[in-house]
Structure 1
C-alpha cells in the first residue's frame, strides 16, 4: 500500500467529515492520488466516462427513480393504503401492520426507501397520529423501519449497483431479495404486535369484508405493476433496464390517464426532481468507480485476501465480521458509498472462501438498509423529519425497537443462506 493511497484515504475522510458531498470527496481524493503518482489527471475523467458508458445496467437507476416519483405524485398511495387497511387493519396494532404491508407492496414498484418514506409513509403517519391513537414517535419509527424493505423487494436500486461491482445477474439478485424482504416485514409485524399490546393501543374498527373486493378492484392496477415488472424479467421478455423503462411508462399511464391524477405542471416537477436525484446518484456512482480503479491498482483486495487466508478464517466468521463492520460504517456513510466503494474490497475474499456472491449481496444490501435508520447519518431519519416535522429525537426513539427486529432478520439471513438462494436456484441459478 503506497503513501499516495494513504494520503488519498485521509483526503477522502477529511472532505467527507467537513460535509462535502461524498461524490466530490471521492473525485478530489482520486485526483490527489493520481497527481502524487505522476499519472495523467485525465485518467479520472476517462475512467468515469468509460465505466458509465459501459454500464448499460445503470440506465435502470434513473428509470426506477422516475417510476417511484410518478407513483408518489398521483393517487396511487391513497388506493394502496385503502386496500391495506381493509386487509390487515383489523388486527392489534392495525395501522402499524398497514404501514408495513404498504411498504412491502410499494417496494415492488419503487426500489427506493426514500420514495417509500416520503410518499405513502408520510400519509400513513398522519393516519396513525390522528386523534392521538399512536404517538408521533411510534408512527415515525415504524415508518422509517418499514421503508428499509423498499430496496430489498425487487426492483431494487442498491441491487443494481451491487450487480455492477460484483458482475452478478440482476435477475437472480432480484429473486434473492423476495424472501428476505418478506422476512423483514414479518419481524416488524411481530414487533409491532407486541409493542401495540404493551402500549395498550386500541384496535381499529374493522373494514367490513364485503368492502374488500371493491377496494381490491380499485388497487388492482397498482398491484399489477410488480407483476408486470418481474414477469417481464423472469419470463425472458425484457432485460432489467428495459423492465425499468416499462415500469416508468406504466406508472405514467396509470397516474396520468387511468387515475387522471397527474397534471402537466406536476409531471414537469416530477421529471425535474427525478433528474436531480438521478444526477446525484450518477455522480456518486461515477466517482466511486474511479476510486475502485485506484483500489484495484493498489491491489488492496488481493492483499486483504492473502491476509485473511493466512489467518485461516472460516466463511461464517468472515461474514459476521464484515456485517459488524458494515453496521458501524452504516452509522457514518450512505448506502451507495458502502456498496460501490467498500463491498468491492471483499468480493475476491468471498470467492476464495466459497461464499456465494448472491447471498453475500443480499445480506450486505440488507445491512446497508439498516444504516438508513441508524443515527447519526441515517438518511431516512432526516427525510421523515423534513416531510413530517417530527423531531429527530422522537424518530430515533421510535425506530430503535424496530431496528432490533431488523437486526434479528439480518442474523437469520446470515446463518440461513437458503432463504436468499431458494428462489434463484428454483429459476436455474447454479450457485
Structure 2
C-alpha cells in the first residue's frame, strides 16, 4: 500500500472516529490524498460534480424519495393497513403478520427501510402495544426487522446505486428483488407465528370474507404502484429514471384526486423533506465517487483480482466471504456507504469468477439491510427508539430471533441463485 493511500485511509478513520459524517470524512481524506500525490485538489470537486450530474440514472433517487413521501402522507397508509388486517390479522400473532405484510406492500412505494420504519412502522407499533397485545420491545423489533424488506422489493434506492457502480441491469435487479423480498417476509411471519404460539400473543378478530373485496378495492390503486413501475421498465415504455418520475406523478395524482388526502401545505413540506433527503444521499454518492476514483488510480481492484485468481478461490467461497465482510461492516456503516465505497472493490473479481452481477447485487443489498438491525449500531434500532421512545435494550433483546431468520434467508439466496434470478430470466434476462 502506497504512502499516499495510507495517509488517506488514516485521515478517513480519524475523521470518522471523531464523529464527522462519513461523506465529509471521505471528501476531506480524498483531498489529503490529492495533496500527498501532488495533484490539484480541484480534481475532488470535478470528480464529485461530474459523477453526479452526468448520471441520468441517479435522478431516479430523488424521484423515488418524493414518491415515497407522498404515498406515506394522508389516508393511503390507513387503507393499506385495513387491507393487511383483513387478510392476515386472523392468524396467530395477527398484528405481527400485519406488520410484515404492511412492510411488503409499502416496500413497493418507498424503497427505503428508514422511511418504512419511521412512517408506517410507528402506526403499527401503536396498534400492537394497544391494550397490552404485544410487549413494546417485541412490537419495535418486528417493525425494524420487517422494514428491511423496503429496499428489496422494487422500487429500491440501494439497487439504483448498485446499478450505478456495477452497470448491472436496473430492471433485472428490481425483478430479482421480488422473490428474496417475499422470502424475507415469509421467514419473519414464520418466526412471528412460532414466538406468538410460545408466548401466547393475541389474534385479531377475523374480518368477514364478504367484506374483503371492498377492503381490497379501497387499497387497490396504491397496490398498483410496483406493477406500474415494473411494467414501465420491462415493457420498454420507460427507462428506470422515467419510471421513477411516473411513480412520483402517480403518487401525487392518487393522493390529490383519488384519495383527496394531500393538501397544498403538506405537499410543500414533502418537497422540502425530499430535498433534504436527496441532498444527504447525493453528498454520500459524491464522496464515494471520489473514493472510487482513488481506488481505481491505485489499481486496487486488479491487485485483488490477481490475488484471488492466484489462490484459486471458488465462486461460492468468495460469495460467502464477501457476505461475511459486508455483514460485519453493516454493524458499523450505512448501506449507501457500503454499496458505493466497499462493493466496487469486488465487482472485477465477480466478473473474473463468473458470478452474476444481478445475483451478487441483490444478495449484497439484502445483506446491507440486515446490517440495519444488527446490534449495537443498527440504524433502524435507533430510528424506532427515536420515534417511539421504547428503550433500545428491550428492542435489541427482541430483535435477535428475527435477525437469525433473515440471515438464514440470506444464506438460502447465496446457495440457490435461482431465488434471485428466476423472475429476471423469465422476462428475458440472459445472466
* TM-score, normalising length: structure 1: 0.99
**What is the CA distance between 1:287 and its match in structure 2?**
0.9
Q: Which residue of 1 aligns with 2:287?
A: 287
For structure 1, which segment, 285-294 or 220-229, has the greater mean C-alpha deviation from structure 2 after superposition?
220-229
Distance 1:225 1:324 in 2: 34
Q: Which residue of 2 aligns with 1:195?
A: 195
Q: Which residue of 1 aligns with 2:158?
A: 158
Distance 2:64 2:284 in 1: 17
1:159-205 Cα shifts (integer Å, max 9, x gaps): 00000000111001101111100010111111011010011113211
* Gaps in structure 1 of 5+ consecutive residues: none
Q: Which residue of 1 aligns with 2:253?
A: 253
**What is the CA distance between 1:376 and its match in structure 2?**
2.5
Q: Which residue of 2 aligns with 1:172?
A: 172
Any conservation in 2 of the 1:334–1:377 contact (CA below 8 Å)? no
Task: Give the 4+ runs in structure 1 shifted more than 4 A.
Answer: none
**What is the CA distance between 1:257 and its match in structure 2?**
2.1
Any conservation in 2 of the 1:67–1:109 contact (CA below 8 Å)? yes
For structure 1, which segment, 176-185 or 224-233, has the greater mean C-alpha deviation from structure 2 after superposition?
224-233
Q: Which residue of 1 aligns with 2:85?
A: 85
Distance 1:344 1:211 in 2: 50
Distance 1:312 1:217 in 2: 56
Q: Which residue of 1 aligns with 2:426?
A: 426
Q: What pairs with 1:227-376 in structure 2 (closer than 5 Å)? A: 227-376=227-376
1:207-233 Cα shifts (integer Å, max 9, x gaps): 111111111111011111111111111
For structure 1, which segment, 400-409 or 47-56, has the greater mean C-alpha deviation from structure 2 after superposition?
47-56
Distance 1:356 1:258 in 2: 42
The question of 1:114 aligning with 2:114 is answered yes
Distance 1:315 1:251 in 2: 42
Q: What pairs with 1:40-189 in structure 2 (closer than 5 Å)? A: 40-189=40-189
1:286-312 Cα shifts (integer Å, max 9, x gaps): 110000000000001111111111111
Distance 2:424 2:149 in 1: 19
1:3-39 Cα shifts (integer Å, max 9, x gaps): 1101101111111111111110110010000000000
SS of the residue aligned with 2:155?
Answer: coil
**What is the CA distance between 1:143 and its match in structure 2?**
0.4
Coordinate RMSD, CA, aligned = 0.9
Distance 1:53 1:322 in 2: 31
SS of the residue aligned with 1:213?
Answer: helix
Q: Count how many residue pairs are aligned between Structure 1 and Structure 2.
A: 431
SS of the residue aligned with 1:109?
Answer: coil
Q: Which residue of 2 aligns with 1:3?
A: 3
1:90-141 Cα shifts (integer Å, max 9, x gaps): 0011111111111001111111111111111111111111000000011000
Q: Which residue of 1 aligns with 2:410?
A: 410
SS of the residue aligned with 2:5?
Answer: helix
Distance 1:32 1:376 in 2: 31
Any conservation in 2 of the 1:84–1:101 contact (CA below 8 Å)? yes
The question of 1:212 aligning with 2:192 is answered no
SS of the residue aligned with 1:110?
Answer: coil
Distance 2:71 2:384 in 1: 18
Any conservation in 2 of the 1:108–1:154 contact (CA below 8 Å)? yes
Distance 2:285 2:87 in 1: 40
Distance 1:75 1:17 in 2: 43
